[in-house]
Chain A
Amino acid sequence: MTQREYEPIVLEMPATYTHLELLEPCVRLLVKQISGLAEPDVVAYNLVLGVHEICTNITRHGYHNEPGGRLSVIMAYEAATRQIVIQIEDHGAPFDPSSVPPPNLEQGQAGGYGLFLVRQLFDDVSYCTEPGKNTWRLVKAL
């Protein structure tokens, strides 16, 4: 019996806060296609939030909220490993994830939760940069 093919969803869009709303329907559609998920709504929410945080950071720090920036979000479900893999590419200023300290959860702070959330909500988070392109790769095991 052949394994069902899951087509990746590719979203290429302007890097603006307004366009972030496009992420949720795409993520939910991807999750909807996966059978046997416990709590699919929670899975979808967490995926949306993680990708949203990365895209927000790209817009703010990679493109400094200036017009003209674009980003690509490629979402795929790998049935063989039962993982969701999301790749986010931009062409803005590179970023150093190691420069972001974890937030002080005990006292709370007004900011700095974004990358922490991404690292908590995904099982593997990696970032690489090369001249003209930066790529985040987020993996969630189901």
Chain B
Amino acid sequence: MEIAVSEHLIRVMVVAPKGRLDVNSVAELQKQLDALFGDGVPRIVIDLSAVPFLDSAGMAVLVGTLKSANQQQGNVVLVWPAEEAARRVLALTKFDRIFTIAETVSDAVDAF
């Protein structure tokens, strides 16, 4: 009997902004996210646990990144913000339907 064994490693990039994710800071996050594309299938975890405030500009970057990743057969998984009010706003905008959102980075990585 011939048995072939091979190991496959899936690379997942974890991006963890700290601080407000809003119209003032999104350009910086966008730049960081853009740098992750172009080198294989994009599998990205965006850890929002240390984001105390998220506005529509921040949400736009998240969705834009998801759509770009999907176009390259990749995906974006989020980690819930620790801030309860921010979590509720993500639920209000149904982000929990268009994204997989995990409680921890470990869970988010496992989602791939």
- B residues with CB within 8 A of A: 22-24, 53, 55-57, 59-61, 63-64, 66-67, 83-86, 88-89, 92-95, 97-99
Q: In terms of DSSP, what is the predominant structure of the interface of chain B?
A: helix
Residue from the list B60, B93, B97, B98 in contact with A111, Cβ < 8 A: B60
Name A residues whose Cβ lies closer than 8 Å to a Cβ of B: 17-18, 20-21, 24, 41-42, 45-46, 48-49, 52-53, 56, 103, 105-114, 116-117, 120
| Residues A45 and B59 in contact, CB atoms below 8 Å apart | no
**Are B66 and A46 in contact, with the CB atoms below 8 A?**
no
Task: Decide: A17 and B63 in contact? CB cutoff 8 A.
Answer: no
Given contacts A20-B24, A113-B56, contact A41 B84 (CB under 8 A): yes
* Given A53-B56, A114-B56, A108 and B22 contact (CB-CB distance below 8 Å): no
Q: Are the C-beta atoms of A117 and B93 separated by less than 8 Å?
A: yes
Cα distance, A116 to B93, chains bound together (Å): 9
Complex interface: chain A residues within 8 A of B94 (CB): 105-106, 108
| Sampled A-B contacts (10; CB under 8 Å) | A42-B84, A45-B53, A45-B83, A52-B55, A56-B56, A108-B99, A110-B64, A110-B67, A112-B56, A117-B56
